């Protein structure tokens, strides 16, 4: 198992233990895919892309970079 795989497993196990103790988890939690929620995230990414293009056209490059990050983040985290 790779170092990255070991770390992901550690994070998943840590969250399970914390949830089992009734604590707020601070690790990764594996959940079942939810197509409806994924589509909501994709719609939000499309909305953010519109804001990105609007700000770019208006010359607000400092904000455009931040918005671009969130567009990519929301697209990347949903694979439906």
Quick one: pLDDT at residue 66?
87
Q: How many helices (H) and strands (E) does the chain have?
A: 3, 0
Q: Which domain holds residue 11?
A: 1-30
Domain match, 37 and 5 both: no
pTM (2 decimals)? 0.55
Domain match, 37 and 65 both: yes
Rounded to whole angstroms, the Cα distance separating 15 from 29 reads 6
Torsion of the alpha carbons at 14, 16, 20 and 24, rounded to the nearest 10: 70
Quick one: pLDDT at residue 73?
80
Domain match, 79 and 48 both: yes
The answer to whether 9 and 1 are in contact (CB under 8 A) is yes
List pLDDT tens digits, range 10-66. 999 998 899 889 888 777 888 899 999 989 988 988 998 999 999 999 999 888 888
């Amino acid at each position: 198992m790779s170092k990255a795989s070991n770390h992901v497993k550690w994070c998943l196990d840590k969250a399970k233990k914390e949830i089992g103790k009734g604590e707020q988890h601070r690790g990764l939690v594996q959940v079942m895919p939810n197509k409806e929620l994924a589509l909501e995230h994709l719609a939000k990414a499309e909305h953010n892309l519109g804001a990105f293009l609007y700000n770019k056209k208006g010359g607000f490059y400092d904000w455009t970079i931040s918005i671009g990050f969130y567009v990519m983040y929301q697209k990347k985290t949903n694979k439906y």
